[in-house]
A and B are shown apart, each in its own frame.
Chain A
Amino acid sequence: MEDEQLSAELEELERDLAGRPRAEPSADLRERVIEGVQAELRRRKARNGWAFAAAVAAAALVWINLSLSATLGTDYGPRRVRPRPPVDRMAQQIQQLLPELSDCEALRQAVLLEAGWDLPRYPVLLAAPAALRRPADLGDLPPQGE
């Protein structure tokens, strides 16, 4: 279509149109446009700077959050050291609380307590006790030791 020939009359008209005096923008338009371009470039740069700062801050917050979660979920962070009472004293206290326990059983419970003294905290189950009941269709667990 670019090569479509116009009639001689239309070609002459086209030449007349092209030969009209050409309007030119005012002399200060160049300066105005370039100033506008500079201002826009500066604005964009500043906006990019803020966007970068916001991204860094968000990344830092996520890192701190993950670090805290990891620290609180493991036992190799700084922990409060609780004084560990001797096993025989713990056994005595258990027997005072539950006099029906034999000496041997009280000592066994004290040893178990002592063994778990330094274990990290475990998550607290917030479910209602009914939800923790064994489903009926699973039946009874086999006796321990089998």
Chain B
Amino acid sequence: MGSPGTDPLLLGLAAGDQRAFEALYDRFAARLYRVALAMLGRSEDAEDTVQEVFIAVVRSRHGLTEVRDLEAYLFTALRRAAARCAARRSRQPVASDAVADQAVAKGDRPGSSNPQDQWLEQALRALPREQREVIALKIDGELTFGQIAQATGVSINTAASRYRYALEKLRRVMKEES
């Protein structure tokens, strides 16, 4: 990815070039979808959220040439869109966490015949929202801690600590289960 103002993808997006949006989709949509699915728990909500992110990019495309880290920018937009989606679902203005937790607890991820994977999914659903989110951003979104920090509005150290605590808790839960 080039520097702000020179990255051809960013320049194409800023100019409203449809091919640039297609390239953006091909490059990031799957990762955005997986993180949205981990946050919201339902595939239709995750897809709506991804679409909302792309519409938000269209609306703010003129400022994109100033964006330094497109991935962090997209996942920041995704978090906001996911919060709005959860709020819409609950028909309450803010309290999105509880609703998201409920949906995630039901789960809509692809089924796996591997008991280890099923176990992992169950253990993930038992995590607090913030820890689940950092795992989703790191594993499903393939972001660095710097990008996670930017997307979630915390320091890099906090993002990394949250991730470590999440893994430790996951390991603990799995040990207890076994």
Contacts and interface: CB of A to CB of B under 8 A. Distances in A.
B33 to A, nearest CB: 4
A4 B138 CA distance: 14
A22 B30 CA distance: 9
B145 A1 contact: yes
Interface in A1-58: 1-2, 4, 6, 9-10, 13-14, 16-18, 20-26, 29-30, 32-34, 36-38, 40-41, 44-45
Q: How large is the interface on A (under 10, 10 to 19, 20 to 34, 35 or more residues)?
A: 20 to 34
A23 B29 contact: no
B139 interface: yes
A25 B21 contact: no
B112 to A, nearest CB: 5
Contacts of B37: 23
A89 B171 CA distance: 117
Given A23-B37, A38-B18, A16 B25 contact: no
A41 to B, nearest CB: 5
Given A13-B171, A22-B34, A25-B33, A33 B139 contact: no
Given A13-B170, A13-B171, A26-B43, A41 B34 contact: no
B110 interface: yes
Contact of A10 (B18, B30, B120, B164): B164
B58 A37 contact: yes
Interface string B27-47: 001100110010000010011
A44 B55 CA distance: 11
Interface in B4-62: 16, 18, 21-22, 25-26, 29-30, 33-34, 37, 43, 46-47, 50-51, 54-55, 58-59
A2 B148 CA distance: 11
24 contacts: A1-B157, A1-B159, A1-B160, A2-B160, A6-B164, A6-B167, A13-B171, A17-B170, A21-B109, A22-B30, A22-B34, A23-B33, A24-B33, A25-B30, A25-B46, A26-B43, A29-B50, A32-B51, A33-B25, A33-B29, A33-B51, A33-B54, A34-B25, A40-B58
